[in-house]
């Protein structure tokens, strides 16, 4: 590059052309400055967080530069409120939360169709908003009751220790499902936002309500949570049932719970009930598992001989105690060893004895188990009955093997 070219290039950078006139770069910057001055730019966080311009989108919200909450409502808000309770209820929430209102110059067209059932649901749901407390639950079932129960559900769900399974709320669905058909309200984004605002208000209500109105009946809680022990069945022998009862007494475990303990009127009592149920379930878990395992094995044994269609169908119509008698001379009866129940006291059950010689060999084991049970303070008659049943069981096995 020649010295002349270098000199011309430097002059262009300095804003002066080779002919001594202002360069193109200098003119462009002047025009850009004029253009930039036409616009407003954000120069602080405060400006960014405030709404200084009119909101034109219906139901948009913001904060004014003076810190006031603002909601914009469409020009046809009256018509919307007359047709759909959702808009009326949402406005009430915004009013209660201290919003100021601005009206847009545009109408809002909702895709929601007028629906009497939806409005009835919302009217029940919205009583919590209009009264600022959870409403009384009507005895009569219907869409209004559903709306009220849904409001209860929303308000109590945020409580960490709340257990739906102890109440009538466990089948409650999201309010969005009742309004839009799905929990997301995919086709109704604006309406879903308004419903979320209503739901948020209900959720944060601080109210002490009588939970007995929504509590499950004590009998249902007992059944659903498995709180009672059933120590007798057609598949347990009398001696086994007596042993189970004695074991429960020794462990200070009642076979049935006091239903008066299964009622809660407030959150404190609800949490206490939840703990009571958990403690009860843990206390009877080992016994329940033992009974379930024994019964399960014996049910399988009773139906084992009947595998074909007709015989299987006939067996299902036969009382289980009769099926039990039918397998006494078969290998399936091995599941009726009465000493299996001794596992509850960490004792080894007597082995199944298949010959007289083996029976003599296990006589010492038999005596050891007897002595250990006596040391555990079980009554002598109970121990004798249990081992008497084992003797009968053993005789049955020996007869079967002798014939085999």
- Average pLDDT of span 298-319: 90
Q: Please state, in angstroms and rounded to a whole number, the distance separating the CA atoms of residues 44 and 62.
A: 17
Q: Please state, in angstroms and rounded to a whole number, the distance separating the CA atoms of residues 70 and 209.
A: 33
pLDDT at 18 over 80: no
pLDDT at 380 over 80: yes
Tell me whether residue 58 is exposed, middle or buried, using C-beta atoms within 10 angstroms of its C-beta: 0 to 12, 13 to 18, 19 or more. buried
The helix (H) or strand (E) run that includes residue 70 is strand 69-73
* Mean pLDDT, all residues of the chain: 85
pLDDT at position 188 is 96
pLDDT at 357 over 70: no
Alpha helices in 204-353 (DSSP H): 218-225, 238-250, 267-303, 309-316, 320-326
pLDDT at position 364 is 66
Confidence of residue 352 (pLDDT cuts 50, 70, 90): confident
List, for residues 19-60, the tens digit of each pLDDT value: 555 555 555 677 777 777 877 676 766 655 544 445 678 999
CB-CB neighbours of 386 under 10 Å: 24
User: Which comes out higher in pLDDT, residue 187 or 27?
Assistant: 187
- Average pLDDT of span 66-70: 85
Q: Please state, in angstroms and rounded to a whole number, the distance separating the CA atoms of residues 182 and 197.
A: 17
Is the Cβ–Cβ distance between 59 and 72 less than 8 Å? yes
List, for residues 75-92, the tens digit of each pLDDT value: 999 999 999 999 999 999
Is the Cβ–Cβ distance between 89 and 122 less than 8 Å? yes
List, for residues 228-287, the tens digit of each pLDDT value: 999 999 999 999 999 999 999 999 999 999 988 898 998 899 999 999 999 999 999 999
Structure tokens at 309: 């269609």
pLDDT at position 299 is 95
pLDDT at position 347 is 84
pLDDT at 194 over 80: yes
pLDDT at position 13 is 44
């Amino acid at each position: 590059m020649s010295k002349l070219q270098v000199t011309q290039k430097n002059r262009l950078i300095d804003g002066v052309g080779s002919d001594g006139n202002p360069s193109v770069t200098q003119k462009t910057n002047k025009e850009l400055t004029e253009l930039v001055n036409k616009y407003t730019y954000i120069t602080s966080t405060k400006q960014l967080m405030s709404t200084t311009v009119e909101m034109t989108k219906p139901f948009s919200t913001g904060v004014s530069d003076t810190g006031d909450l603002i909601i914009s409502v469409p020009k046809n808000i009256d018509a919307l409120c007359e047709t759909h309770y959702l808009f009326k209820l949402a406005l009430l929430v915004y009013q209660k939360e201290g919003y100021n209102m601005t009206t847009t110059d545009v109408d809002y067209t909702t895709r929601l169709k007028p629906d009497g059932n939806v409005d009835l649901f919302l009217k029940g749901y919205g009583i919590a908003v209009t009264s600022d407390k959870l409403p009384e639950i009507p005895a009569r079932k219907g869409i209004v009751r559903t709306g009220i129960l849904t409001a209860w559900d929303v308000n109590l769900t945020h409580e960490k220790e709340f257990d739906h399974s102890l109440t009538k709320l466990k089948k409650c669905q999201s309010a969005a499902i009742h309004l839009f058909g799905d929990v997301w309200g995919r086709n109704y984004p604006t309406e879903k936002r308004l419903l979320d605002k209503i739901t948020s208000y209900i959720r944060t209500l601080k109210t002490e309500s009588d939970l007995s109105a929504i509590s499950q009946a004590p009998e249902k809680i007992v059944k659903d949570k498995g709180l009672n022990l059933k120590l007798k069945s057609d598949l347990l022998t009398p001696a086994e049932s007596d042993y189970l009862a004695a074991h429960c007494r020794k462990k200070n475990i009642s076979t049935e719970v006091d239903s008066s303990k299964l009622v809660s009127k407030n959150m404190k009592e609800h949490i206490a009930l939840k703990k009571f149920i958990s403690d009860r379930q843990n206390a009877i878990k080992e016994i329940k598992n033992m009974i379930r395992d024994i019964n399960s094995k014996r049910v399988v044994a009773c139906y084992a001989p009947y595998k074909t269609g007709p015989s299987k169908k006939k067996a299902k119509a036969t009382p289980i105690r009769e099926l039990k008698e039918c397998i006494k001379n078969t290998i399936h009866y091995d599941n009726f060893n009465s000493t299996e129940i001794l596992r509850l006291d960490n004792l080894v059950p007597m082995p199944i004895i298949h010959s007289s010689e083996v029976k003599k060999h296990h006589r010492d084991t038999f005596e050891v188990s007897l002595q250990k049970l006596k040391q555990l303070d079980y009554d002598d008659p109970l121990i004798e009955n249990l081992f008497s049943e084992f003797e009968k069981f053993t005789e049955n096995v020996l007869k079967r093997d002798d014939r085999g």
